[in-house]
Structure 1
Amino acid sequence: MKVCVVGTGAIGGFLGVRLAHAGHDISLIARGPHLAAIQSNGLKLIQDGEQLIANNVVATSNISELSAQDVVIMALKAHQIAAIVDKLPHLFGKDTVVVTVQNGIPWWYFQNMGQNLSREYANRTVETVDPGGVLKSAIDAHRILGCIAYPAMVIVEPGVIQHIEGVRFPVGELDGADSARVNRISEMFIEAGFKSPVLPDIRSEIWLKLWGNLSFNPISAVTHATLEAICQYPLTRELAASMMLEAQAVAEKLGASFRVTVERRIEGAEKVGKHKTSMLQDVESGKPLEIDGMLGAVIELAEVTATDVPALKSIYACVCLLNKTIADEQVSIKGWPRQ
């Protein structure tokens, strides 16, 4: 299939390399030194002690150079999508499927809702991640499949990504249907070496992944601690649990359910080890932080559902100020080991 990965960071690159080696026609949208390295040397994946290089790909920063695709994988961070949404129609044919892998609450959360979710919020705009409903209006929800990215990845240098752990990319129709196309995307991912079950309730799985993102990511950003450290230090472990329980209360009012306990979710994060979250990696690189999709949108939904979330609001205030400091001072904030 013709597949375009829009946003070839660590996760997008992981998908792109594996899909290219599975025989698909891959285009990668990237920018800066990362793009230059891919164009010169291909995109290298380091996984399980082995190296895979995808050099039979098209790499560009200009979406308009490409033609209609069978599949568009949206791997940009939530706050980056609006800037390129007007160019996406260049990639759309009649049956093009858009697979979204953003962290956090997606812009389409209240579109095409299944029968097991609260219908009173149908077609509502999630203003925090989609101000004015720009994305909601620009991308037909019937094109969209939800996807959750569980792997931990890092970009070790331009053009080189490293797999830390995990290969799971569950997918699902927004309305929960068991369609031919969602099974086709699942099979494509599985053939590329991923675990990709088809889920009847993609939103509940979004909340399960988001449990970790909304707690561990911002805590790591303000403390510079790894997942293992956050989970093993009693005070931050307790804070993460409080944030997760507040989010669970919001999610359940919206009709979502949780198939594991908070404690089990924390234990799973602890097992990842000394991994820096994506938000901590962005802090160290001086990049804008992916706050709103992970945390701001949850606070918005808490207000919609009249749910009290004091821990979430406190951490949100701290990490927003951190993000402002990084932007205003044009600095990266990196901890260096003592000599």
Structure 2
Amino acid sequence: MNAPVAVVGPGSVGLALAARLALHGHPVTLCGRPDSPVVPAIELTEQSTRRSVDVGWGGEPHDVGPVPWVVVTTKLHQTGSAGVWLERLVDRDTLVVAAQNGVDHRERLAPWVPADRVAPALVYFNAERRGRGEVEVRHSGPDLAVGDDGPGRQARLLLGPAGFQVEIAADFTTAAWRKLMVNAVANPVTALTCRRVDVFREPAVRALTRTMLSEVAAVGRAEGASLPDSAVDDVLAWLDARPTGAGSSMLDDRLAGRPLEYDGLLGAVVRRAGSHGLGVPACEAALALISALDGGRPERASALVHITGPSIRESQCRQ
């Protein structure tokens, strides 16, 4: 039997990783909100193939103890909730895979996990939750990227045999900012328009997307990432190559009436731009609009925002 794994955050990415790890023989425990319904099994759909696998469920943090592996997949604004679980799951021998968005994985988990026990992981596969324990996964190229260091190589040994294509990124800072270029722009645009990747074929939207990407790249370069001018075209080409029907996690959250993750993505870009004295007007405008979905004001964009209304259909969203 392979080593036990706890997956903190039973969203779309968490379900996908947990299902593959369980299918590979790892005893997997899903850890979510104590008041959320139990997920005893995951229905995983990949390339029209549907498989079901049993998993454990962590009802309360005090019900679990240290495990060799923890995979954190919560949204950035839920990291504090993940910390309650990490306090119980992590000991000196635990390695934590931070499969989250953003560019500061180790700093984010520092209150609970030493930096040398954290493996930041960039998620590239597209996962969409279809139900409480159901997830559909689409693959195109590498599924994940990890750093070229001890924790990263260990994480590859966990995730690679489970069926994921994991690449080692020699320059993880650049890889993380390339990923942030996608997340900080594609997520808000799809959520604001309630459109999937087809929206980037609209000329006006494409022009705005190019401007926003250029602004994010400038901030990334100021942060030490190697992002040539061609990085913008690379991201646009990546969006064009997304499978038909692919959306974004922020679009999914808006449709389901869940909190939006914009502050740790687009908000982080705007804040870091300010620290470098860079102007990012298009990103600032998009941030004001995405924050306003909650009825909030632009100056509250750095606050944790909750969208508590009922779920909506994409057709309703566009009305």
TM, length-normalised to structure 2: 0.88
- CA distances 1:249-305 after superposition (whole Å, capped 9, x unpaired): 111111111376211211211221332211111111111101111111111111111
Secondary structure of the corresponding residue to residue 210 of structure 1: helix
Which residue does 1:282 correspond to in 2? 253
Which residue does 2:187 correspond to in 1? 217
Which residue does 2:145 correspond to in 1? 170
Match of 2:196 among 226, 232, 244: 226
1:334 pairs with 2:304: no
Secondary structure of the corresponding residue to residue 178 of structure 2: helix
The 8 Å contact of residues 283 and 334 in structure 1, kept in 2 or not, is answered as no
Secondary structure of the corresponding residue to residue 264 of structure 1: helix
Match of 2:102 among 100, 104, 111: 104
Q: CA deviation at 1:83?
A: 2.7
Q: How many residues end up aligned between the 2 structures? A: 304
Q: CA deviation at 1:32?
A: 8.0
- CA distances 1:21-60 after superposition (whole Å, capped 9, x unpaired): 1111211113489743x22xx11101111122121x2112
Secondary structure of the corresponding residue to residue 8 of structure 1: coil
Cα distance between partner residues in 2 of 1:241 and 1:194: 31
Secondary structure of the corresponding residue to residue 54 of structure 1: strand
Give the direction of change, closer, same or farther, for the CA distance of 1:238–1:33 in structure 2 (3 Å limit): farther
- CA distances 1:131-186 after superposition (whole Å, capped 9, x unpaired): xxxx53333222211100111111111211111334511111xxx53x2x432321
Secondary structure of the corresponding residue to residue 95 of structure 1: coil
Match of 1:207 among 177, 194, 198: 177
Cα distance between partner residues in 2 of 1:218 and 1:17: 28
Cα distance between partner residues in 2 of 1:220 and 1:87: 31
Cα distance between partner residues in 2 of 1:183 and 1:164: 24
Kindly, what percent of the aligned residue pairs are identical?
A: 27
Match of 2:205 among 236, 245, 248: 236
Secondary structure of the corresponding residue to residue 138 of structure 1: coil
The 8 Å contact of residues 227 and 275 in structure 1, kept in 2 or not, is answered as yes
Which residue does 1:194 correspond to in 2? 164
The 8 Å contact of residues 173 and 224 in structure 2, kept in 1 or not, is answered as no
Secondary structure of the corresponding residue to residue 213 of structure 2: helix
Match of 1:18 among 17, 20, 24: 20
For structure 1, which segment, 280-289 or 319-328, has the greater mean C-alpha deviation from structure 2 after superposition?
319-328
The 8 Å contact of residues 35 and 59 in structure 1, kept in 2 or not, is answered as no
- Structure 1 gap segments, 5+ residues each: 112-129
Higher relative contact order (CA 8 A, sep 6+): 1
Q: CA deviation at 1:314?
A: 0.4
Which residue does 1:146 correspond to in 2? 120
RMSD value over aligned CA atoms? 2.3
- Structure 2 gap segments, 5+ residues each: 297-304
Cα distance between partner residues in 2 of 1:107 and 1:185: 14
The 8 Å contact of residues 33 and 158 in structure 1, kept in 2 or not, is answered as no
Which residue does 2:222 correspond to in 1? 253
Equivalent position amino acid for 1:213 in 2: N
Cα distance between partner residues in 2 of 1:196 and 1:258: 22
Give the direction of change, closer, same or farther, for the CA distance of 1:284–1:32 in structure 2 (3 Å limit): farther
Secondary structure of the corresponding residue to residue 251 of structure 1: helix
Secondary structure of the corresponding residue to residue 225 of structure 1: coil
Which residue does 1:49 correspond to in 2? 48
Cα distance between partner residues in 2 of 1:9 and 1:208: 23
